[in-house]
Amino acid sequence: MTGKQEIDNNIRKDRKMIKAVIFDLDGTLLYTLEDLADAMNYTLRRFNMPERTLDEVRRFVGNGIRKLIRRAVPAETTEETVDEMFECFKPYYDEHCLDKTKVYDGMLEELEVLYNKGYKLAIVSNKVDSAVKELNEKFFSKYISVAIGEKEGVRRKPAPDTVIAALSELGISKEEAIYVGDSDVDFETAKNSGLPCISVLWGFRDKEFLIEHGAQNFAEKPAEISRLIEAGSCDGSAGCPGGI
């Protein structure tokens, strides 16, 4: 058996069992790239380092702010300096995280559809926890009750910690949830958490890159998320059962 026939029966899910949808934030619910790039370049300027382009920052994001900084700085930069830069980046981003950030077209409508169908919704992100909660409060709190970001004692994605915490707050088991994200980190997070995954194609990674990293089930626009879940049209460790 190959390709989509290779289904991990341990995490096959009847669509009627799905009660919760766990969302990534950056590149999935929100276009945040420009505010992240502005904060990164502000920090680089403060430390007399060369700035980065928007496309470079796009490639650097996905593993948290410290990893973003490490990827953006010259290779010889010490970890001590990276720590100092993190302390510079965080308050600037907290203050400016809403400057250019916006909800992807069609996403609020899709969240309303999912919410009205009775799904519980959560956000898990490698963004700092304070910013995740602020952004959720600003844009999604009508529909999303749980928002968890990077904080002490919780490992960043692709470790399953944020997902486990979100499921606990929602009162949902992993057998009753599905994950939606835009990156290889999200696919690995879903896999490590024992959740199926839908990979969205409007975010920070293209389809070819996602396929190379194992993704199999894709939404080209937000309205397809609920359709995939309701139709049971994803499969195996990468999505809902049923095959596409």
pLDDT in tens, 70-91: 999 999 999 999 999 999 999 9
205 pLDDT more than 50: yes
Segment 23-28 mean pLDDT: 97
Q: How confident is the model at residue 68 (pLDDT cuts 50, 70, 90)?
A: very high
CA 241 to chain centre: 22
* Reported pTM: 0.84
Q: How confident is the model at residue 62 (pLDDT cuts 50, 70, 90)?
A: confident
- Strand, coil or helix: what is 178? strand
116 pLDDT more than 50: yes
Q: How far apart are CA 73 and CA 190, in angstroms?
A: 29
233 pLDDT more than 50: yes
Written as one letter, the residue type at 220 is E
Q: How confident is the model at residue 119 (pLDDT cuts 50, 70, 90)?
A: very high
- Number of Cβ within a 10 Å radius of residue 129: 16
Greater model confidence, 8 or 75: 75
79-96 and 33-46 helices cross at what angle (nearest 10)? 130
pLDDT in tens, 170-183: 999 999 999 999 99
pLDDT at 63: 85
Phi/psi of residue 127, nearest 5 degrees: -70, 155
pLDDT at 94: 85
What domains, with CATH codes, occur in the chain? 3-31+102-238 (3.40.50.1000), 33-96 (1.10.150.240)
pLDDT in tens, 135-160: 999 999 999 999 999 888 889 999 99
Considering the chain, what is the average pLDDT of its residues? 89
51 pLDDT more than 90: yes
Greater model confidence, 14 or 4: 14
- What would the two tokens of residue 114 be? 């999912």
7 pLDDT more than 70: no
